[in-house]
Amino acid sequence: MSKTWVLGLVGLVSLGLSATAPAEAAPEGTITWGVHVTLVSRWLDPAETEALITPFMVLYALHDALVKPMPAGLNTPSLAESWTVSKDGLVYEFALRKGAKFHSGDPVTAEDVKFSFERYKGAAAKLLKDKVREVQAVDPARVRFHLKEPWPDFMTFYGTSASGAGWIVPKKYIDKVGEDGFKKAPVGAGPYRVASFTPGVELTLEAFDGYWRKVPSVKRLVLRSMPEETTRAAALKKGEVDIVYLLSGPVAEDVKRTPNLKLIPAQPPGVFWLDFPDQWDPKSPWHDRRVRLAASLAIDRQAINQAETLGFSRPTGSIIPRIFEFALPIDPPPYDPRKAKQLLAEAGYPNGFDAGDFYPFPPYFSMGEALAGYLQAIGIRTRVKTMERASFLSAWRERKLKGVLVGITGASGNAATRLEAYVTKNGIYSYGVLPEVEDLFQRQAKELDRKKREALLHQIQRILHEQAMHAPIYELAFIWGVGPRVEEAGANLIKGFAYSGPYEDLRLRRQER
């Protein structure tokens, strides 16, 4: 076979391949969001990520992490191709993805990873830096994290939205332009780059065609701050925006009735529950398990769900969201006011009792009123006291709230991190601790065997349920309104994520581009 013939054959094969391979189309069109929050500069910098899920609405577009929650799972390798843990649990090694680069064109290297971790000052920064002895850039494509002691939650904090420490920024660029320069013109390794930003008003992003995972389908993303719910809904109906976040009650109903618009419930890890701070006082009626159980049985969770979130939330029997790692799914208690009254009578309160104040979680006051009404119906009398959000949180944290309160949190993490805050002796919102729960919690914190750890955490959740320590209500649905131009809005693709994502997977309908 002559050399020319072979080359020709190779050429033909190459032509055939290029003709049949699905070439990635160039990004087209714009998707505009009406977001419920005020857009701020700090969300453009992963180092500033506080213990909030909101910044990730921007981070997923502009930046990328070594490992992050994605449709494939909670700890999906992204800028890292893979990662391994040493047998003693002390060393985590990440192999960086070849070809991953920043918007500036520079490749993502181990030095960037080390620099990003050291520069990080957001949520859990102290915790992470206390646990990590050293970050070692082994070579440009390999980085090692050496821990001081085995820590089973390292990847929960480094590889999920519990912190922004694993999101990588370009060292070379920041060294060149300085911190202020980076704040003004941030550069990341995500699927979109900043085109323009007016703090508090609007952020415009443009597709980055060098993104390693795929070239985004939509050319331009616009996030527009619209704090008023009715205004967001009006803009959606008029077609000025394509997706709006956070609709509720009558406004959501109105959007639902509008032709061509649809409601989508995202399912972030936020659970509502009733907390009974007085249960730790032996003289309080709440000290009796039967009273707490009666309160739980008195609530018609589905009715409240229907009124507040159009039935999109998920009634539950646990304060741990089902999507969390190590969660024990528990069905919600049935609505049984007759049984509730019977339990109250057995506990010595046939005519009910005065339970003091009832604190709804701000701003969910109508839900609080409904819950207090259900308690009242079985004879548990309360006075609803509404508070401003920050005052409520401070008073709860300082253990000044008595009677009954409604709790909720959407903090990321796993069952252990969620339990720690509310039922352990170090918990910032714990009013008291069950010794067996504390013992199990301490044991799981040292357990490196995943199965054994899961068993311990399940046992804790079972005890909390049996003791009726809380009356869980439902896992809150975060309702979006979506317009007719959008084919894929990116809702619930990443489990537990409240916002659109991954942005590179979003699509407009063909004729709308």
Which positions lie near another protein, rule CB under 8 A?
Answer: 38, 40-42, 48, 50-53, 121, 123-127, 183, 198-202, 224-228, 230-231, 234-235, 237-238, 240, 389-391, 393-394, 396-397, 407-411, 413, 417-418, 421-422, 428-429
Min dist. Cβ of residue 206 to another protein (A): 19
The nearest distance, CB 109 to another protein, in angstroms, is 27
CA 76, CA 502: separation in Å to the nearest integer?
12
> Of 288 and 420, which CB lies nearer to another protein in the complex structure?
420
Taking the least distance from each CB to another protein, the nearer of 195 and 201 is: 201
Structure tokens given for 157: 């904090």
Q: Work out how close the CB of 131 gets to another protein at its nearest, in angstroms, rounded to a whole number.
A: 12
How far is it, in rounded angstroms, from Cα 402 to Cα 286? Answer: 11
Task: Tell me how far apart the alpha carbons of residues 354 and 367 are, in angstroms, rounded to a whole number.
Answer: 20
User: Residue 410, SS3?
Assistant: coil
Residue nearer to another protein on the CB measure, 198 or 386: 198
Of 426, 447, 372, 430, nearest in space to 403 by CA? 372
**Cβ at position 117, least distance to another protein in Å:** 16
CB of 133 to another protein, least distance (A): 19
Spatial distance between the Cα atoms of 308 and 322, rounded to a whole number of angstroms:
21
CA distance 117 to 65: 11
**CB closer to another protein, 395 vs 493:** 395
Structure-token match 């701050």, residue found: 225
User: Whole-angstrom distance between the N-terminal and C-terminal Cα of the chain?
Assistant: 50
Q: Which is nearer to another protein, 249 or 410 (CB)?
A: 410
Closer of 48 and 512 to another protein (Cβ): 48
Q: Which is nearer to another protein, 138 or 201 (CB)?
A: 201
Quick one: CA dihedral 378, 382, 387, 390, positive or negative?
A: negative
Minimum distance, C-beta of residue 17 to another protein, in the bound complex (Å)? 47
CB of residue 155 to another protein, shortest distance in Å:
18
Name residue 281's amino acid: D
Burial level of 41, CB count in 10 A (0-12/13-18/19+)?
middle
What tokens does 115 get?
Answer: 């620099």
Hey, how many other C-beta atoms are within 10 angstroms of the C-beta on 115? Answer: 20
